[in-house]
Structure 1
Amino acid sequence: MPVYCITGANRGLGLEFVRQLAKSPDNTIIATTRSMSNDLSDLKAVSSKTTHILECNTADLTSIQSFASETKKTLNGVQIDFLLNNAGVNSVPTQNSLSIGPDDLHREIDINVLGPAKTTEFLIAQDLLPQNVRIMNMTSGLGSMSVGLSIAPRKCATYSISKAGVNMLTVHQSGDLREKLKGVVVICMDPGWVKTRMGGEGAVLEPEVSIGGMLKTVHGLGEGDNGKFYTYTVEEVKW
């Protein structure tokens, strides 16, 4: 039975990951939410008998550490085959490079970059990631320098900067993690402009299409994919 760990699973793309994966009784799913006091009705509605809902606030290192410890107890000797670092925020999309709020930028880097970095680190410390684990860091086309140059007017400055950080995190993890996990494959992935609360007005892509494509990509990863940047269409993205 493959084991999936999905951060930020109570809404948006994370919720759709759970919905699709929960269709198979063979899948064990660790689905996280920032707080157990959140409205979890949608998540519970799509969960399977082998879905475990745990708290993990990826902006809080203590919360991530507690989550890793709780996951170890929950899995009871079983390891995670697919780590999907999905949790993220785009809290100030109207800011551009001339109006960046320092606190806003720090918050987005804490959640979007340090969050997946420390989640991965603390899960390794609990011996929850096997040698051939597949790790996906959720990024965005807005984190691509090449894509960014083609957008006019440019938008979501703080979010874009944080997602460029996710991309560089992925590059570093693809090398650093191999010192501990010889068969690990780490990628970052652009889900496209998806019709979720974060996607906002103008989004064009249905969640089931985006997540279906991302799962196809993740399930097909091989040794040669380590450190690459993909989109949900299984195409490689320029940095």
Structure 2
Amino acid sequence: MPTAMITGANRGIGLELLRQYAQQGWRVLGTCRNPETASAAQALADAHDSVSLHALDVTDAAAVAALAVSLDSSRIDVLVLNAGVMSPGANTLGELDASAFLHVLEVNVVAPAICAQAFRRHVATSERRIIVGMGSYLGSIASNNEGGLYSYRSAKAGLHAIMRSLSVDLRDEGVTAIAMHPGWVQTDMGGPDASLSTEASVAGILRVIDGLKPGDSGRLLTYAGEELPW
């Protein structure tokens, strides 16, 4: 049975990844800060013996390291670095707040790097050996013609750079590392006017992941399998 690990699995895209992987018969390790209040994720865990939830604040490096040790015997075929935030206090020029900006960078950039570092061996010793960072079209510098969204754009561009470096540094271990744009999705972050349901986005993401080849490592792909410019 293949294993997927998903950070930020309590809502939105992370929750739907948890659901669809479970439906496909995978063993799924979901993380979130407070599993006891993550009722939808907990319901999935109760309904599927293959799903487990683990308390994790991705910004707590010691907690990340401890979870990696506790899962030492687990081989993770697909690691999805999904946890992320957007702060309204760090997106508009003239209204930027330094602490809010730093929090966005900590969650969206530093935490994925620390998680990839902690679970590197778990992935490299698995059969599929895939790491996916949940990036965004908004982190594509070449595509930025609208400005604004300073912290979020910066954070996703930083995450893209991390995934690119992982693709180089883990090449000899056979790991495929990509950044993934999930589309504009109807989540708490994307809002109700977004063009894509979580179900459709995640179905596309899983199709792309399932079709990945080593030569895809280091690319920024969309849920539809298209490549975006950095």
TM-score normalised over the length of structure 2: 0.93
Match of 1:129 in 2: 123
Instruction: Describe the SS at the equivalent of 2:23.
Output: coil
Does the 8 A contact of 1:95 with 1:158 survive in 2?
A: yes
Find the residue that maps to 1:129 and give its secondary structure.
Answer: helix
Matched, 1:195 2:186: yes
Query: Does 2:200 match 1:209?
Result: yes
Aligned residue number for residue 160 of structure 1: 153
Residues in 1 aligned to 2:89 and 2:213: alpha-carbon distance in whole angstroms: 35
Distance 1:141 1:4 in 2: 24
Q: Percent identity?
A: 33
For residues 29 and 36 of structure 1, the distance between their equivalents in structure 2, rounded to whole angstroms, comes to: 14
> What are the ranges of 5 or more consecutive residues in structure 2 without an aligned counterpart?
none
Compare 91-100 and 192-201 and name the one that shifted more: 91-100
Q: For 1:134 and 1:97, locate their aligned partners in 2 and report how far apart those are by CA, in whole Å.
A: 37
Contact 2:44–2:51 under 8 Å retained in 1: no
- Contact 2:6/2:29 (<8 A) preserved: yes
Q: Provide, for residues 33-78 of structure 1, a one-character-per-residue CA deviation record: whole Å limited to 9, x for no partner.
A: 12334x2210022332111100111111112112212222xxxx33
The TM-score normalised by the length of structure 1 is: 0.89
Aligned residue for 1:43, secondary structure, equals: helix
Q: CA RMSD in A?
A: 1.6
Amino acid at match of 1:227: G
Letter of the structure 2 residue corresponding to residue 129 of structure 1: V
Q: Take 1:200 and 1:208, find their aligned partners in 2: how far apart are those partners? A: 15
> For residues 114 and 197 of structure 2, what CA distance do their matches in structure 1 show?
30
1:40 aligns with one of 38, 43, 53: 38
**1:229 partner letter:** L
Residue 209 of structure 2: aligned partner:
218
Unaligned runs of 5+ residues in structure 1 are: none
Question: Does the CA contact (< 8 Å) of 1:93 and 1:159 recur in 2?
Answer: no
CA distance in 2, matches of 1:121, 1:32: 16
8 Å contact kept, 1:193–1:199:
yes
Aligned mate of 2:91, from 83, 92, 95? 95
Partner of 1:52: 52
Corresponding residue for residue 68 of structure 2: 68
Is residue 171 of structure 1 aligned with residue 164 of structure 2? Answer: yes
